[in-house]
Amino acid sequence: MMPNLKNLMKEAQKMQAKIAQIQESLKDKTVEAVSGGGMVKVVCNGQQEILALTIEKELWDEDDMEMVQDLIIAAVNEALRRSREMAEEELSKATGGLNLPGMF
């Protein structure tokens, strides 16, 4: 019984190390989202950090600032959603599809 527990602990440590490695590598993986037909673009990494926000010049001349704000929010939310999906997909490779709470 004890050797099985030791093997289980070793496997858990290997999985933990692999998960930590994947989480670190997610800093360098990016996703992009756009709104307003490409007028607003957001780039986000796999750790849900916004890396870039691009707003086309035509929007700065827009009188409807509420619409511009909505486009920015839409692009940011979509980028964050895609980032979470990417992170979950990468982590599921390490966990064999197990859904481990608190990973993202």
Give the burial class of 46: count Cβ atoms within 10 A of its Cβ; 0-12 exposed, 13-18 middle, 19 or more buried: buried
Confidence (pLDDT) at 94: 74
pLDDT digits 0-9 by tens, 34-83: 999 999 999 999 999 999 999 998 887 778 889 999 999 999 999 999 99
Structure confidence at residue 4 as a pLDDT band (50, 70, 90): confident
Confidence (pLDDT) at 9: 86
Structure confidence at residue 97 as a pLDDT band (50, 70, 90): low
Q: How many CB atoms lie within 10 A of CB 34?
A: 16
pLDDT digits 0-9 by tens, 8-18: 888 888 888 88
Structure confidence at residue 84 as a pLDDT band (50, 70, 90): very high
- Give the Cα separation of 42 and 76 in Å (integer): 6
Domain ranges of the chain: 2-95
Q: From residue 72, give the alpha-carbon distance in Å to each of 13, 40, 90, 100.
A: 41, 6, 27, 32
Q: Are 79 and 42 in contact (CB under 8 A)?
A: yes
Is CATH 1.10.10.60 correct for 2-95?
no
Confidence (pLDDT) at 36: 93
